[in-house]
Chains A and B, each alone.
Chain A
């Protein structure tokens, strides 16, 4: 068998899941869609002593009420074609794994897994969304840009679970664009950029969000680029914004792309995203 041995609990509710995680201690892990966790188990990169299955804990579902609240175990595929989902996320969804993995992979799982090259964490940061967690010390709400810390690491404490993510709805006067380059469709991104622009009646940018992923250990907002865009038409500043973005990221480089290439790529994708959102 591929994975090392572990115990298994199918939680029938959130309370059951939290109790099982508390009992399992440090080496217990929740499993939702398992599209990242099971590969890691198969490769024995992780060896939890207990898996707590959240798929029957009643944590799925989408509700719109000023914002879009997405239950942790809502499948990524459930967002595809849902008109209430922010256009930025709808544009990014085809880049999230593949058709078959989106059927099983969950929104909350992607957020909690916190892969630095994952699209949904980047979108949540770009949109200023929130992560709702529950655990031994009760329920708390964490702003997306305070949730992700580094590779596969979030501010979740031991025994805590992501129960919901909260996504802003599209607003009037707002436009967005998502850009990504990967070697193959569905593969991990080499760089990706999410841009959200809000304009006044004269077409001037009054508020900008520019976030990049895959070129740092977690998704980051490029505040200096955002400042540069405010007061412009967006398009007129796209080239300068891209050049600036390239200087603000510090990717490590890989066998597929040198650090220099990744910086230039991030600049190009930033320019392209701003032009399309403009």
Chain B
């Protein structure tokens, strides 16, 4: 057992973990942050995607102990208890979710993608290839993300 200290959604947390504890299970079971979903648990479905030091990663392919000293953001960080972010609002407007299982992971990956510049529709679709959605047929998700691309400014 090892003590880790990391910043999750702006809050410093200190916990004792076994090396084999995955970041997803750490977030959900230790911290009660169940917004991060667990699907395939081998890096295929994308539901567990969170930001590690600002970069989107698979929470199920990372050990909690590896995140020691890092900053982690989950879907709970987006709106907290306030109004929805522009991206979340766009998902609602475009009917980019139905059951919502895949949505947290896609929101975090899209947040990362949008922070890097102005992705094209093809680049958004390429990013989405790493996320399984069984409800929407993907097109509304591409529409929702594309509507948040800043046409005038840069990154």
Report the separation of the CA atoms of residues A1 and B23 in the bound assembly, to the nearest whole angstrom: 11
Tell me if A41 and B130 are in contact (CB < 8 A): no
Interface size class of B (residues with CB under 8 A): 20 to 34
- Residue among B19, B60, B61, B127 with the most chain A CB within 10 A? B61
Which stretch (B6-14, B49-57, B84-92) binds chain A?
B49-57
Known: A8-B19, A99-B109, A185-B129. A104 touches B25 (CB 8 A): no
Tell me if B130 and A104 are in contact (CB < 8 A): no
B24-37 vs A: 1/0 string, CB under 8 Å?
01000000000000
A46: Cβ under 8 A from any B Cβ = no
Dominant SS among interface residues on chain B: mixed
- Residue among A6, A34, A38 with the most chain B CB within 10 A? A38
Tell me if A41 and B57 are in contact (CB < 8 A): no
Report the separation of the CA atoms of residues A8 and B21 in the bound assembly, to the nearest whole angstrom: 11
Interface size class of A (residues with CB under 8 A): 20 to 34
Tell me if A42 and B60 are in contact (CB < 8 A): yes
A1-32 vs B: 1/0 string, CB under 8 Å?
11111111010000000000000000000010
Report the separation of the CA atoms of residues A7 and B57 in the bound assembly, to the nearest whole angstrom: 23
Report the separation of the CA atoms of residues A51 and B22 in the bound assembly, to the nearest whole angstrom: 14
Report the separation of the CA atoms of residues A184 and B132 in the bound assembly, to the nearest whole angstrom: 11
B124-146 vs A: 1/0 string, CB under 8 Å?
00110110000000000000000
Tell me if A97 and B19 are in contact (CB < 8 A): no
Report the separation of the CA atoms of residues A5 and B127 in the bound assembly, to the nearest whole angstrom: 33
User: Residue on B with the closest CB to A104?
Assistant: B57
A93-104 vs B: 1/0 string, CB under 8 Å?
010011111011
Determine how close the nearest CB of chain B comes to the CB of A269; give it in whole angstroms.
20
User: Residue on A with the closest CB to B52?
Assistant: A104
Report the separation of the CA atoms of residues A94 and B122 in the bound assembly, to the nearest whole angstrom: 12
Tell me if A103 and B18 are in contact (CB < 8 A): no
Chain B neighbourhood of A101, CB < 8 A? 43, 58, 61, 130
Tell me if A104 and B61 are in contact (CB < 8 A): yes
Chain B neighbourhood of A157, CB < 8 A? none
- Enumerate the 4 nearest inter-chain pairs by beta-carbon distance, A residue then B residue, closest first: A98-B130, A39-B42, A8-B19, A185-B129
Q: Chain B: residues with CB nearer than 8 A to chain A? A: 2, 18-22, 25, 41-43, 46, 49, 52, 55-58, 60-63, 65-66, 68, 109, 112-113, 126-127, 129-130
Additional A-B contact list (6), CB under 8 Å, known A5-B18, A35-B43: A10-B65, A42-B41, A42-B42, A51-B19, A99-B129, A100-B56
